[in-house]
Amino acid sequence: MLMQGFAGFMSLLSLAFTLFSGFALVDAAVRREDAYRAADKQTKTFWLVILGLAFIVSLIFGILSFLPIIGLIGTIVYMVDVRPAVRQISGPRRGGSSSDGPYGPWNGGR
């Protein structure tokens, strides 16, 4: 009974890691390339490779293996360090105009 509960917990933890790394991969894919360079982080391609490998490894191996833990560390670094810096440069994803400032649209003093 105890082993079934542990196996169920580990499968839920593995699913959570897969979803977490998948979200990070999609988020990295939709960000602009120049925002990575402006934030002085690695390139977009670098992070797509790291997060893509983390996602694939989380699908193939269990969470107690060595490779998924390395992938989890890479995903956490992206989410905690790179993503906020890139979001600050590129701004949040919203349907605004390119002339919108932080307090609304810029109309040239009219």
For residues 25-30, give the mean pLDDT.
Answer: 94
Do 51 and 28 touch, CB atoms closer than 8 A?
yes
Q: d(Cα 92, Cα 29) in Å, to the nearest integer?
A: 14
**Distances 20 to 38, 41, 56, 73, 93 between C-alpha atoms, Å:** 25, 21, 12, 12, 19
pLDDT of residue 83: 93
Predicted pLDDT of residue 23 = 96
pLDDT band at 5 (very low <50, low <70, confident <90, very high): confident
What the block records as the tokens of 105 is: 């649209």
Taking alpha carbons only, the member of 26, 25, 43 closest to residue 34 is: 43
- Does the pLDDT of residue 106 top 80, yes or no? no
**In residues, how long is the chain?**
110
Q: pTM for this structure?
A: 0.75
| DSSP tag of 43 | -
